[in-house]
């Protein structure tokens, strides 16, 4: 049954029925009751807002198309192929947009790649960028200056300023150290990617958070950089080198608590520890990060992993972009940090 039939039975126009369905305050209480009574009698259930045709009440001043572009660098696009975390961020973006009756278009941009045509034509209301615009043409920058922008996670924004939504990386290090200390560990080992200080500012913040909290409670802390990419290529020499480094840290320094800065790294470290005869939960405690369950699924025992709340990051990015579109003349720049949390559901 359509709203035209509901309107005929209720003795009102189909426009009035649409207003009742969308909870428009301009309709009198008496008319609302009459229309809803007819709807109940015939069993009419309106479609969800995201599936209804026509303009959505949720559209605010400044919104014209109901489209938002999610733009990522070529490197970022490559990461999307194996990052459950970023796929969950995108899910948060899509679900939040859908709740407002809006849609997302995705595009990859770099110096040799053009913007999606829908963006070039001005048919989106704003853009969400991950992680930055470090390798795009001047022509692309010129077009993007016409849009309100929100960046995701850490990255450069010196080419075009914008708001940023990210996880509180310093809090990650604090949570990790506090967890290990609560387990009675006092000699702590943090395992990072090789050359992390040159490549990933987010990991640096985790590093300093872990260091600061460990120092505060007088715990002994060590850092071990693992060449993760080479280990994933299963190069025997590199694996043997990593085992020797782990043995030196754990057995030589009496390490009983390990913090792996990502689940991908944890998945590599587990078999190395097993090769050394070290059992997690008996000989050492370990905490991981990112809560990417598909990566951790084959590990035994499943580690506690810090949840970065990726879907919440996606939701907050949409909300901030909506705010920015409605407030285009606010010149302040906002950094919104989403708080991470410990996830014990694996236990």
- The whole-model pTM stands at 0.76
pLDDT of 194 above 60: no
Instruction: Provide the pLDDT for residue 198.
Output: 45
Q: Are 96 and 315 in contact (CB under 8 A)?
A: yes
For residue 138, what are its two tokens? 């001047």
Q: What is the pLDDT of residues 27-50, one digit of tens each?
A: 888 888 888 888 888 888 776 655
Q: DSSP character for 250?
A: I
Query: Could you tell me the pLDDT band of residue 53, with boundaries at 50, 70 and 90?
Result: low
pLDDT of 250 above 60: yes
Instruction: Provide the pLDDT for residue 197.
Output: 45
Which domains are seen in the chain, by residue range?
3-46 (1.10.260.40), 67-161+312-338 (3.40.50.2300), 169-307 (3.40.50.2300)
Instruction: Provide the pLDDT for residue 57.
Output: 46
Q: Are 299 and 270 in contact (CB under 8 A)?
A: yes
Instruction: Provide the pLDDT for residue 1.
Output: 63
CA–CA gap between residue 237 and residue 66 (Å, rounded): 54
CA–CA gap between residue 218 and residue 216 (Å, rounded): 6
Pick the more confident residue, 55 or 155.
Answer: 155
- Report CA-CA distances (Å) from 335 to 152, 153, 167, 242, 332: 10, 10, 10, 38, 10
Q: DSSP character for 49?
A: G
Q: Report DSSP letters for 201-239, one per residue.
A: HHHHHHHHHHHHHHHHTT-EEEEEEE-HHHHHTT-HHHH
Instruction: Provide the pLDDT for residue 71.
Output: 94
For residue 285, what are its two tokens? 């405690």
State phi, psi for 59 to the nearest 5 degrees: -65, 130
CA–CA gap between residue 46 and residue 1 (Å, rounded): 10
Closest CA to 165 of 326, 332, 320: 320
Pick the more confident residue, 121 or 344.
Answer: 121
Instruction: Provide the pLDDT for residue 47.
Output: 64
Closest CA to 302 of 317, 287, 316, 315: 287
Percent of the chain exceeding pLDDT 70 equals 85
> How many other C-beta atoms are found inside a 10 Å radius of the C-beta of residue 316?
21
Instruction: Provide the pLDDT for residue 196.
Output: 47
Average pLDDT estimate for 67-73: 93
Q: What is the pLDDT of residues 177-191, one digit of tens each?
A: 999 999 999 889 888
Q: What is the pLDDT of residues 117-156, one digit of tens each?
A: 999 999 999 999 998 888 888 899 999 999 999 999 877 6
Average pLDDT estimate for 254-279: 89
Q: What is the pLDDT of residues 213-238, one digit of tens each?
A: 888 887 777 776 655 454 545 444 55
For residue 96, what are its two tokens? 């939040």
- Report CA-CA distances (Å) from 146 to 81, 174, 240: 30, 40, 53
Instruction: Provide the pLDDT for residue 193.
Output: 67
Q: Which residues contact 336 (CB under 8 A, 6 or more apart)?
A: 163, 164, 165, 166, 316, 320
- State CA 177 to chain mean position distance: 23
CA–CA gap between residue 287 and residue 317 (Å, rounded): 28
pLDDT of 199 above 60: no
């Amino acid at each position: 049954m359509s709203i035209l039939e509901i309107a005929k039975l209720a003795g009102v126009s189909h426009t009035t029925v649409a207003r009742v369905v969308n909870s428009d305050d301009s309709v009198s209480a008496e008319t609302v009751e009459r229309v809803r009574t007819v709807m109940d009698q015939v069993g009419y259930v309106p479609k969800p807002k995201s599936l209804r045709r026509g303009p959505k009440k949720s559209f605010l001043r400044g919104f014209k198309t109901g489209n938002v572009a999610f733009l990522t660098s070529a490197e970022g696009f490559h990461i999307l192929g194996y990052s459950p975390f970023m796929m969950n961020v995108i899910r948060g973006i899509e679900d939040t947009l859908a709740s407002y009756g809006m849609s997302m278009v995705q595009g990859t941009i770099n110096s040799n790649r053009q913007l999606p045509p829908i963006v070039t034509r001005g048919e989106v209301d704003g853009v969400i960028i991950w992680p930055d615009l470090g390798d795009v043409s001047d022509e692309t920058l010129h077009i993007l200056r016409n849009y309100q922008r929100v960046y995701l996670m850490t990255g450069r924004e010196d080419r075009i300023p914008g708001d940023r939504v990210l996880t509180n990386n310093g809090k990650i290090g604090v949570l990790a150290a506090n967890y290990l200390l609560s387990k009675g560990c006092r000699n702590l080992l943090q395992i990072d990617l090789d050359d992390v200080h040159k490549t990933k500012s987010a990991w640096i913040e985790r590093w300093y958070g872990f260091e600061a909290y460990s120092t505060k409670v007088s715990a002994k802390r060590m850092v071990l950089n693992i060449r993760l990419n080479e280990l994933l290529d299963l190069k025997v020499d590199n694996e043997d080198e990593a085992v020797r480094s782990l043995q030196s840290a754990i057995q030589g320094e009496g390490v009983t608590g390990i913090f792996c800065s990502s689940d991908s790294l944890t998945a590599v470290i587990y078999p190395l520890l097993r090769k050394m005869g070290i059992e997690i939960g008996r000989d050492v405690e370990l905490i991981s990060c990112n809560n990417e369950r598909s990566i951790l699924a084959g590990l035994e025992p499943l580690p506690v992993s810090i949840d970065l709340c990726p879907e919440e990051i996606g939701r907050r990015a949409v909300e901030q972009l909506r705010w920015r579109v409605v407030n285009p003349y606010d010149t302040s720049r906002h950094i919104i940090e989403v708080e991470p949390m410990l996830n014990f559901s694996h236990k």
